[in-house]
Chain A
């Protein structure tokens, strides 16, 4: 567990992976690899998704009913099959709730870290 984080990369905060997955799926259904790549790319490789936590998280979210999953063919000539995850209405609601919680948290942290000098 004590793997070193490569320089320039940030480990995910506990509990944020779920939110990121949900947010990623807001654009439409995606499979595990796509989700991981998307998060990595949009954060300019700052957030490395550990696959060790991605799949358990996906399965956990599916179990909670926030995601639904379906096997679909994709790739060139539809040769490969992928398990596509899709946001459910409950998942959308959960995303909204987590987002507002995160915003509060971020604001709270920011107000401690950078006290309101500007005002």
Chain B
């Protein structure tokens, strides 16, 4: 900038100097007797061309790099303005390519790469695997994934490796709360230790976060809101602080929790994709956790921990230290005379520990593969767009050979010309990148809306600095990619300008190679798109084994009704009776888990065999199979005879029957749960149906009557022609305090498990179509250019008597050959790469022949059509016009 200003001064000074010279000359001429006007003219005449002199003097000073850049950019903009249509196509295709890359990368960034928005996230380690959530009374020998509160306190006080250790409950249930004396609404509170915010280094945006005092059992209950909840619910009103949130674990009990602060903007907790509305100290768990009080229960493990390593302490050292403490603690808990077996198990226990700069993310596991795949697709689209631009610029470089030669002749050196041509490409690339960023903002919001289950986006971080850096890099890289070859070729012109013919042909070879590459890439994209669309169709037409039409699904939380375990079954009965009594309701059932909503599993032993087998299953009310339209294959469903005192009964699926009783009927056979004394008898077999997700093999399933196996039934299914509101009304009448967490249809639940597939299929289709458009533009452009270059030749051919079809064919043949080459490469790549995506497909083998043939036909059709028009133009050349051309 300094240079720039000094230059301005110098410029003014030169101006002044020349003026003074002219004045002196003028005075002299006047002295010689000329009238003033003529004197001035004479002075000017003797001096010569002032602009030229200034120019030469300036040239002598030498250009600053800054000035050159400004010049080049100006020149590039002028060139772009001169050709608005070409520029629009170029910038738009680049914008789409770069925008798509940016949008997908921003998702990859926030799902897979981004650190938690906390202080020095690199120091964080997670105790536990981050995937498990819930509570357990298991004491595994081996890796522990969840911990009890007393264990946390021991770790906290005895470790020498962490500067801070925070704990949080591994699950977060939605519940009904009354915020600021309003009607009950659903919110997700999350229980964390008092030092949670301090350890993570997250300050308050308003009020305060928790302190150690909030952890003591007698502390008044307090809450810290998340910023997004504060925004949504309170419109960032500072007076939200001091207001209360009333939590009713049961209708009778009510705990008023005071809002003391709001966490920093952008902080969503330690789990990516989850966004609790507010945090509560662990000390309040007894009054809010519907699962009951467990704070001082050594045997109930439901916590995970995040530790901040002391400077200089490695993760391995931390692991050793924590494991030693853990075994000591377990040894203490085991009492004075533990069994040898127990001691042996304790010696083998260890705490699973992972570096956790990015926090916990289940989204990562779910979306990593599809996102990386989509990223590859967008990369291919960008490459195709780059190839188009390279072709365009090559054509322009050819058209500018004369200009370049003249510039070289008057002394521009090659580096300067090269830089100027590259600047033009970069200006194009940057314009495309800027427009692409705008496009990406919009695309990202749409993508996030598509993948999140919640109505508000949980991945709120959006397009931030690293993502913008990525966009800038991609823009520059693509600018270089498509600009380098044309620039080199354009500036090479002056060396052998005279052998123009050879030059033109050589350049066209690059263009043709680019077309072949485009065709190959496009074929890959089309095959991918086709494969995903077909995979999605397979998924949609897949019969899950249950009838999802006209089934409403409600998620409820009976714990907040305040019923004691002894009364809860009669509550279930009353609820179902009322719902089934409603006109238009065919049947209704309650179950513990539902399709895509959790799994339940346990070990069993078949009688007469001591080996344990893992089975999955559900706890159900009698009309469960009827409601879901699952036919009975043998035996009976549950009825009043399966009462609490009666012998225990179960219904199994066909997989279960086949697996455990391959030779004999399963009816009447028995098995046992490890923690039960009595055996359970199989009284029915149902047809197989999809248990949790479509894309999994049906496991052996066990269904247990809720009467004999008391369980929390959280899912209500209603087969009805009525709408959800009517059912909600009945639920409200039966129990005003029963929270309905969600209401949807079973169809919708099934569809929602396919969102990832749907997203990938839609995006792949979009990218495939984009690619084919770009490729068509490329083919059309290259061929048009080639035809224009051969106008004279075509004219002569026609003049000598060639028929138009022959000329057309000459032009077409060459292009078809190229398209064929590209297709061959593309097909080879599909064959080789098909296996890589097999994981993502359903019901398809890697290189699906139907998709491949379909994609090839489409591509050949579009490419031939794009090539036909220039060919037609070639055949209609007027020989006379052609000969005069050039």
Contacts and interface: CB of A to CB of B under 8 A. Distances in A.
Interface of A: 31-34, 37, 50-53, 55-56, 59-60, 63, 75, 80-83
B60 A51 contact: no
Contacts of A75: 24, 27
Contacts of B48: 50-52
Contact of B53 (A33, A52, A80, A83): A52
Contacts of B61: 59, 63
Nearest to B13: A83
A17 to B, nearest CB: 13
Contacts of B18: 55
A60 B60 CA distance: 7
A52 B49 contact: yes
B52 A81 contact: no
Contact of A51 (B16, B27, B53, B59): B53
A82 B21 CA distance: 8
Contact of B47 (A51, A59, A81): A51
Nearest to B56: A56
A32 B28 CA distance: 14
B21 A33 contact: yes
Given A32-B20, A52-B56, A80-B23, 14 more contacts: A31-B17, A32-B21, A33-B21, A51-B21, A51-B46, A55-B17, A55-B53, A56-B57, A56-B60, A59-B61, A80-B24, A81-B16, A82-B20, A83-B20
B580 interface: no
State the 5 A-B residue pairs at the shortest beta-carbon distance, nearest first: A33-B24, A56-B60, A56-B57, A33-B21, A83-B17
Contacts of A51: 21, 46-48, 53
Residue among B24, B27, B52 having the largest count of chain A Cβ atoms under 10 Å: B24
How many B residues are at the interface, by size bracket? 20 to 34
B25 interface: yes
Contacts of B56: 52-53, 56
A109 to B, nearest CB: 29
Contacts of B57: 55-56, 59
Interface string B30-54: 0000000000000000111100110
Contact of B24 (A31, A60, A63): A31
Contacts of B27: 75
B14 interface: yes
Contacts of A55: 14, 17-18, 53, 57
B20 A80 contact: yes
Contacts of A56: 53, 56-57, 59-60
A31 B18 CA distance: 11
A80 B28 CA distance: 14
Nearest to A31: B20
A36 B57 CA distance: 17
Nearest to A36: B21
Nearest to A83: B17
Contact of B52 (A52, A59, A60, A83): A52
Contacts of B14: 55, 59
A38 B385 CA distance: 65
A50 B49 CA distance: 11
10 contacts: A33-B20, A33-B21, A52-B53, A55-B18, A80-B20, A80-B23, A80-B24, A81-B20, A83-B13, A83-B16
B60 A59 contact: yes
A59 B21 CA distance: 15
A82 B22 CA distance: 11
B478 to A, nearest CB: 42
Which among A32, A52, A80 has the highest number of chain B CB atoms within 10 Å? Answer: A52
A52 B18 CA distance: 11
A33 B13 CA distance: 15
B22 to A, nearest CB: 9
A83 B23 CA distance: 13
Contacts of B52: 52
B25 A33 contact: yes
Interface string B373-405: 000000000000000000000000000000000
Contacts of B21: 31-33, 51
Nearest to B23: A80
A32 B23 contact: no
Indicate the member of A34, A53, A59, A82 with the most B CB atoms within 10 Å. Answer: A59
A77 B59 CA distance: 36
Interface string B95-122: 0000000000000000000000000000
Nearest to A53: B56
A57 B52 CA distance: 14
A50 to B, nearest CB: 7
A61 B20 CA distance: 20
A72 to B, nearest CB: 11
Interface in B42-81: 46-49, 52-53, 56-57, 59-61
Contacts of A31: 17, 20-21, 24
A50 B52 CA distance: 12
Contacts of B13: 83
A3 to B, nearest CB: 9
A6 to B, nearest CB: 12
Contacts of A53: 56
Nearest to A37: B28
A82 B27 CA distance: 14
Contact of A82 (B24, B25, B53): B24
Contact of A32 (B17, B46, B49, B59): B17
A28 B710 CA distance: 115
